[in-house]
Amino acid sequence: MKFIEQNAWQFLSVKLPVLGAFLLLVLIPGLQWAVDFKLIPVEYHAYVTGGVMVFLSWLGKKWYQPSLHQPLGFVAVTAGHSNTDPGAVNGKIKESELVTNFRNAVVHYLREAGITTRTDGTGTQNDPLSSALKVIKGSSVAVEFHMNAAASKHANGIETIALPHDKKLAQDLSAAVASALGSRLRGDNGWIDQSKSARGSLAYINAGGLIVELGFISNEAELAAFQARYWIAAKAVAKVLIEYEKGA
């Protein structure tokens, strides 16, 4: 969620009370004259002056100002690697294809909830990183999905690589995936600080995105769990993103 930067003076809820204060400088002497000549009971003097301010403040909040209503941002959802770069592999199973399916599932749930999304492809299309970096420009939040691989067949767990200001979101995303797939959290409750990652500086994260590692493709048990339950994990990830967008 991002706050909309606005100059307060653009809002009628600010302008009208200021106008009311100015008018009261003119009205108050006249009202006092009306009190003196018993045209307005003295006890009503405060109600009249205060009522003007309250009414103008209320009117400023209710008056629709379309020029000030800006649409929310969009969620960018991308898949790691590309159609020409398979990423990690396990036999005939390619990382790029698994994460493309996951991307599509997450986008399905986001759009079902009315969230505007942009992606690096539809269906089996998975564009390279250069395209993903263009897609995420201007997004309110951007996530890309990958799968880990290791020489050890026992390496396992879920992690999200992000900058420190996205730590909470990274932990929530990892927790959603781990819970759905029955896996564990790596790093700091699922968050990997990019500055402390062996991967070094990643362009996607430097551009404001988060990279979610959905498990180890090299771990047979974790791979099987992903293939069997990735739609459930995608729905859980979408829920986190929806709540983030709505500021819940």
Between 155 and 70, name the one with better pLDDT.
155
4 by Cβ neighbours in 10 Å (0-12 / 13-18 / 19+) ranks as: exposed
Tell which residue, 107, 85, 79, 98, has the closest CA to residue 225: 98
Task: Please state, for a pLDDT cut of 90, what percent of the chain lies above it.
Answer: 66
> Could you tell me the CA-to-CA distances from 242 to 113, 123, 198 in Å, in that order?
8, 22, 30
Q: Where in the chain is the domain with CATH 3.40.630.40?
A: 75-246
CA distance linking residue 117 with residue 135, whole number of Å = 10
**Would you state the pLDDT for residue 69?**
37
Report the range of poorest mean pLDDT among 11-15, 104-108, 123-127, 228-232: 11-15
3-state secondary structure of 23: helix
* Tokens standing for residue 235: 């729905």
pLDDT digits (tens, 9 = 90+) for 176-223: 999 999 999 999 999 999 887 777 789 999 999 999 999 999 999 999
Q: How confident is the model at residue 73, as a pLDDT? A: 79
pLDDT at residue 162 greater than cutoff 90: yes
Query: What is the Rg, in whole angstroms, of the alpha carbon atoms belonging to the chain?
Result: 27
Q: With 0-12 CB in 10 A as exposed, 13-18 as middle and 19+ as buried, what is 79?
A: buried
| pLDDT above 70 for 17 | no
Percent of the chain with pLDDT strictly greater than 70: 71
Calculate mean pLDDT across residues 223-229. 98
* pLDDT surpassing 60 at residue 11: no
Q: Is the pLDDT assigned to residue 153 strictly greater than 70?
A: yes
* pTM given for the model: 0.72
Average pLDDT across the chain, whole number: 83
Q: Please tell me the class of the 75-246 domain.
A: alpha beta
